Every structure is written in C-alpha cells, then in structure tokens.
C-alpha cells in the first residue's frame, strides 16, 4: 500500500510541475505535415501528463522563419535540418519520434522550459 501511495504522490508532483503553464513548440519536418504532426501529438501527450497546456505549430524547414515572426515559441523540435539562424533552442526529435530516446528528449525539453521559468 505504501508503494501505491508513493506512486500517487509522484504522479501528483509531476502533474503540478506544469500546472497553469503553456509549452509552445515549433515542430519541423521535411514536409511540415507527417513527422512534425507525429512529434507534436507525442509531445502533447507527454507534456499534458506533466500538467502543462500544450500548443504546437507544424512547418517545413522553409517555414521556420515566418512561423517565428508570427509566434512566440519555447523551442523547436525538428526531424529535418533547420538552416535558418534562430534565437531559440532547437532539439533533435528523430529519436523521440521513433521511441529510442524519448526520455533524453524530454529531459532536454524540460531543461529548456526550466531555463524559461516554466
């Protein structure tokens, strides 16, 4: 029974982490539709588990500059190279999408959010 209580407390702590905070991500893939949407959906699930609200915009690499001018994003998650010079963190999301390094991706993303006060 103590084990269950600890898990419940751990879950409550995780969901409080992002309570009332919104994560805004620019998700980038070659076409701006398939992989970027898969990443966005997967990120939404993971961040909402932590209590965050989540918003994403999916674009191809050519749309990054325009998207950054029209929105305020916390970081870029990408599966295709982004050639534009940007002033926000970029995180490679290939392994996150394929499931090989989900925790490493989330750790990096959470570090970025922590630096932003989220």
Q: What is the pLDDT of residue 41?
A: 97
Q: What integer best gives the mean pLDDT of the chain?
A: 90
Phi, psi dihedrals of residue 86, rounded to the nearest 5° = -125, 155
Mean pLDDT, rounded, for 86-106:
96
pTM of the model: 0.86
**Residue closest to 79 by CA, chosen among 116, 25, 17:** 25
- CATH for 22-116 (3.30.70.2200, 2.70.150.10, 3.40.50.2300, 3.40.640.10): 3.40.50.2300
| pLDDT tens digits along 38-84 | 999 999 999 999 999 999 999 999 999 999 999 999 999 999 999 98
User: What is the Cα gyration radius of the chain?
Assistant: 15
Q: Which two three-digit tokens encode residue 94?
A: 């290939």
pLDDT higher for 14 or 22? 22
Alpha carbon 108 to its chain centroid, in Å, reads: 9
Categorize the per-residue pLDDT at 13 as very low, low, confident or very high, splitting at 50, 70 and 90: low
pLDDT higher for 105 or 5? 105
């Amino acid at each position: 029974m103590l084990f269950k209580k600890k898990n419940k407390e751990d879950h409550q702590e995780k969901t409080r982490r992002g309570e009332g905070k919104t994560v805004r991500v620019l998700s980038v893939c070659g076409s701006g539709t398939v992989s970027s949407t898969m990443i966005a959906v997967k990120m939404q699930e993971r961040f909402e588990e932590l209590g965050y609200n989540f918003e994403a915009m999916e674009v191809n690499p050519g749309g990054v500059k325009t998207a950054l001018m029209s929105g305020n994003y916390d970081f870029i998650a990408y599966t295709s190279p982004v050639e534009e010079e940007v002033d926000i963190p970029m995180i490679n999301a290939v392994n996150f999408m394929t499931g090989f390094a989900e925790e490493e991706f989330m750790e990096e993303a959470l570090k970025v959010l922590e630096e932003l006060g989220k």
